[in-house]
Structure 1
Amino acid sequence: MTSVTSTSTTGTSYTSSYSSGIDWDSLIEAAVSAKTAAADTIDTKISDNEAKLEAYEEMQTLLQDVVTAAQALRSPSGTSAKADDVFLDRAAYLTANGDVDESSVLSVTVEDGSDFGTYDVEILQIAKAHKVISASVASKTEDLGYDGVFSIGLDGGESAEITIDSDMSLSEIAEAINDVSSTSGITASVVKISDSKYELLLTAGDTGVDIITSSVSGDDVLAGIGLTDSSGKFTNVLQESQDAIVSLDGVEITRSSNDIDDVIDGVTFHLYAETPDDTSVTVEVDTDLSSVKEAIQSLVDAYNAYREFAYTQQQVTTSGSAADDALLFGDGTLRSANNQISDALNTMIDKLSIADIGLSFDSTNNLVLDEDVLDDALLEDVEAIQSLLSFDMTSSSSSLGLLARGASAPTSFTLEIEVDDDGNITSATADGVALEVSDTRLLGIDGTEFEGFSFVYVGTESKSIDVEISYGIAELLYNATEAIGDEEDGTLAEIISGMQDVNTTLEARADDIRDRAETYRDSLTARYASYEAKIAEAKAMLAYLDALLNSED
């Protein structure tokens, strides 16, 4: 009797050694394939979605790069955002007056946000550190034979006591002094004069202050090596300490350091040498033009990277159908982003356009920067460039300030602020639209055109305040791209999240179809195995009957 076997492993033979001659495996696979065809269709849909998701995610990333680049040029509001504002970057521009090399006598560092200003600087004297040296000894490594304790420090500072043993050499004394230099502020070194002459050099760590020493107990070690005389005075002063003296716009200033940071807020003068007679250096604190230029170039690069992506999505084949790489061909979100970005870049601000800073479009709408035009514009009027690119608000009252801003308020409106007898704000409106009052803050309400705006009013009387707003090109670009590309709540974030949810649902549906198909496979396998067994049994019976009938003959 022919045997019948079965297994439940997917994709392997379920029946073998058919006595019936029927190909049960093929029948099972055909039936299961019919059941899983829907899952295969779903897989194709998931694959298409994943390809489109990758395109959306790339678009989101590229738009975020535009957001970041635009942020630097839009004069963002809020204390924490000031660090992003390239127009608050400051630089010091030095100009020599007379026969002096300005960079060899002076450098200046400026903190971002410092006030503009121009100063005439003469360096009358630079600060110097006190340096003293001992008498000579024959060897730097031989024991000197002194046992004593001395103190060492800077005038007005902390002193350190140093214990010297008779088996210590000049090098070991220098090492002992250096071990406490963080306390004393003094460093020591051994100077080789010749093979038989070595001297101990002490140098003050600060300029404009004297080294102070004294013998505490035992041998007068410092007098023994000829650093001081019997009265404690230094025997050989290589360099006297002295303060720096600077004339700033004719006002003489004395400081102990060559780094002077307490004369003008945010400005530090680094002195290197005296200016020759009848010379000076003009220091102009102004906007860091190189930072502005770099920020504009970064915006161009970010936009062009996005534009190349968008251009790819618009390509068609020779037959007129979308190209294989154009995964977002005809996509409404992409089209909306392109239109808003184009509108922003083509906006005129006070009769100025991007052409005034050297920007133009090529044949594929990429931005091209003419650096010569931009350099001239920066040198001529950086404030005009800021007005072209940045957000700006002016008001008729100095009591009103802006803490945060939205994207849709009108460019001109009037704030009506009501204050009670105690000076508390009771209500506020902007062109008749109610604002939320929180102490001195006036907040735009969600859903209104003033959403996102936060004003602060420090006045004590009711007042009507006229407000003018300008949305520069970088501000418009930021608002457009941030609304679409923001990772948390931008338009693309919603689309991506929705597509991911769809894929999750489709994957679960495909898995369910395949699970049911495998259950169906098991059922068919068992059923066909039963059929095969019965056929085999019938054939065996038939063979037995044939044999029996033949034996009777």
Structure 2
Amino acid sequence: MTSVSSTSSSTATTASTSAASTSSSANVTTTGTTNSTSINWDTLIESQVAAKTAQATSIETKITANQTKIAAYEDLQSLLDDIATSAKSLSSSIINSLSGSAFAVRAATISSTGDVSASSALSMSISDAAATGDHTLTISQIATAHSVIGTTVTDKTAELGYDGTFSLGVSGGSSVDIEVSSDMSLEDLVSSINAQTKTTNVQASIIQVSSSSYELVLTASVDNADIVTANVSGDDVMNGLGVTDSSGDFADVLQTARAAIFTLDGVELTRDSNDISDVLTGVTFSLLQTTPSGSSISFDVETDADSIVDAVDALVTAYNSFRDYVYSQQTVTSSGTADEDAVLFGDSTMRDIMSQVAAALNSSIGGLSIADLGLSFDETNNLEFDSSVLEATLSSDLDGVIDLLATTVQTSSSSLSVINTSSSPPGSFTIDLAVDASGNLTSASVGGDSSLFTINGDTIVGASGSIYAGMAFNYRGSTSQSITVTSTSGIAAQIYSLAKDVSNTSTGSLQVLITNLKTQDDTLQQRADTINSAAATYEANLKLRYANYQSAIQSANSMLDYLTALLNSDSDS
């Protein structure tokens, strides 16, 4: 007798496995006088269920392929976002402190003539968009703060014994009444004065002359302002401590208040502080010491070439990472077929993006090309960068480099200046400006449509959602007129606009493909789940049916054994 055991099918789903657990395995043996036959129910069930689940297996293979493609598109999306980030600072020619343009970054070169060290006499900070130019500076007088001192107190922690109120402040500022009680020490008085420094601009400190000699010092926290004090009521505390004399004047002046006096480009100027930010826009001076007669400091504010070089280098790095990825998706095997890892092989969207980036890199504007930026292609079309070439071009033709890389906008009238622009504005349009009888700007329209711009005083802003969004102008005219605006998008501006739009995780073309594939996967998964569920039910029914067959065969075998035994008994008798 041969025994056959049923096992779970390797292709059955979780649902079918569960159903199988409700039916016992079928062991079948039939015998005859001349042969023996075994029926393998599991093989029959597996083959029939596999026929049902074959389509689901094919669907799941498609889902896996889609998921791989989604991951590839997301990698491409991320690489293009990196390109957009690196190209952004090179895409704008707008020179202001808010533009974020690499061309707005400033640097200064400082030198000196005569018997003075530039770094010892002057420190500077320069904001983006500061006006460029060469300047000469001499410093005649450093601004100083008023400082006075009192007479000796033997113990700074002992009670002073004064009970009175005095006012304290600086000339031109606010004064505060300082109240003193008889149990206060010199240290207590200093604390009370310093608690009001933010209002009075006067700081107090204690100088220890010896172990039994302490003196109160009052110092203005602003330059070129005299300390002002007066007795208000009770004991005259300032006079008692020797800060003022009997007439109320300061008894011992350590330093008088003076203004800073300096000459910039031949113009003598006076300021109350050594930190000066209102002479050259975007430039802050810190005057440190006077310049001797016959000496001067020269400084040159200029566009920071290093910032531009660094920005181009970052764009090259981002582009090469993107190009390497595209190249990996074009790999073929030795037999000429697409490599299994090249899941975007032949993808039209990736090919179109690469073509547009390549077209931008091959742009030529004003007679300049990427060769003037120190850029060239290697054998795999990756970019190589020679920064020394770019530095030379920046030195000889900065405006040409800006035009080649950034979006530039020009107007046909000096009355209309450009405040801001988008990375891809319209190439050319005429803006019609209307002014009322009082000379106030009332509307700005293109082709008779005034909804394309909003007016705020003299400022004209492109309406959100329109092709002029991101553009802003300032109008200084007093009459109605039509002005032509022309725009040119340079290499970095073209790449930035393309990469930003394509990599957008809400509306970009890659996101559309990703969303479509995910939707397709959801639909396919529902179909596969339906097929597998039906197959599990079918498998459970087969097991029940074959179990019934097995039971019938076992009954027949039992009857056959009984009849055989009965016949054998008759023969024996």
- TM class by smaller structure: 0.7 to 0.9
Alpha-carbon distance, 1:336 to partner: 1.8
Q: CA–CA distance in 2 between the matches of 1:139 and 1:462? A: 80
| Amino acid in the other structure paired with 1:510 | A
AA in 2 matched with 1:184: T
Deviations 1:277-299 (A, max 9, x none): 22222333332323222221221
- 1:49 and 2:66 correspond: yes
Residue from 60, 68, 72 that aligns with 2:89: 72
One of 27, 50, 58 as aligned partner of 2:75? 58
In structure 1, the residue matched to 2:525 is: 507
- The root-mean-square deviation of aligned C-alpha atoms, in Å, is 3.9
Moved more, 151-160 or 240-249: 151-160
Partner of 1:291: 307
Tell me the distance in 2 between the aligned counterparts of 1:148 and 1:545. Answer: 134
Alignment of 1:229-378 (within 5 A): 229-378=245-394
Alignment partner, residue 517 of structure 1:
535
C-alpha spacing 1:397/1:528, structure 2 compared with 1 (3 Å):
same
For residues 451 and 225 of structure 1, the distance between their equivalents in structure 2, rounded to whole angstroms, comes to: 71
Runs of 5+ consecutive residues of structure 1 not aligned to the other structure: 1-5, 430-434
Contact 1:76–1:84 under 8 Å retained in 2: no
Percent identity among equivalent residues? 43
Q: Return closer, same or farther for 1:538/1:212 CA change in 2, 3 Å cut-off.
A: farther
| Pair 1:136-2:136 in alignment | no
- Go from structure 1 to structure 2 and tell me whether the alpha carbon gap of 1:152 and 1:29 turns closer, same or farther (over 3 Å shift): farther
**Cα 1:214/1:407, change in 2 over 3 Å:** closer
Structure 1: how far apart are the matches of 2:150 and 2:289?
A: 28
Question: Which residue number in structure 2 is paired with residue 36 of structure 1?
Answer: 53
Which TM-score applies when normalising by structure 2?
0.81
Please give the per-residue CA displacement for 1:133-177, whole angstroms capped at 9, x wherever unaligned.
222222222333333322222222222222333333222222222
2:23 is aligned with what amino acid? Answer: T
Partner secondary structure for residue 320 of structure 1: coil
The CA distance in 1 between the partners of 2:549 and 2:424, in whole Å, is 75
CA distance in 1, matches of 2:452, 2:19: 73
- State the one-letter code of the partner of 1:137: V
Unaligned stretches of 5+ residues in structure 2: 1-7, 9-14, 30-38, 455-459
Match of 1:484 in 2: 502
Structure 2 counterpart of 1:498, from 516, 522, 539 = 516
**Aligned partners of 1:420, 1:245: CA distance in 2, in Å?**
46
Q: Distance in 2 between matches of 1:325 and 1:468?
A: 46
In structure 2, the partner of 1:432 is none
CA drift at 1:92? 3.6
CA-CA distance at 1:302 after TM superposition: 1.4
Query: Which amino acid is 1:499 matched to?
Result: L
| Residues 1:438 and 2:451 are matched in the alignment | yes
- CA contact 2:107–2:301 (8 Å) conserved in 1: yes
Contact 1:90 1:285 in 2 (8 A): yes
SS at match of 1:10: helix
Q: Deviations over 1:236-273 (max 9, x none)?
A: 22221211112122222111111222233333222222
Change (3 A) 1:440 1:90: same
Query: Normalized against structure 1, the TM-score is what?
Result: 0.84
The AA in structure 2 aligned to 1:10 is S
Aligned pair count reads 539
2:385 & 2:26 partners in 1: Cα distance?
79
Are 1:16 and 2:24 an aligned pair?
yes
The 1:455–1:42 alpha-carbon spacing in structure 2 relative to 1, beyond 3 Å, is: same
Query: Which residue of 119, 128, 134 corresponds with 1:118?
Result: 134
Aligned CA distance change for structure 1 residues 401 and 224 (closer, same or farther; 3 Å): closer
Partner Cα separation in structure 1 for residue 474 and residue 157 of structure 2: 75
| 1:472 maps to which of 490, 495, 498 | 490
1:209 positional shift: 0.9
Residue 400 of structure 1: CA displacement? 5.5
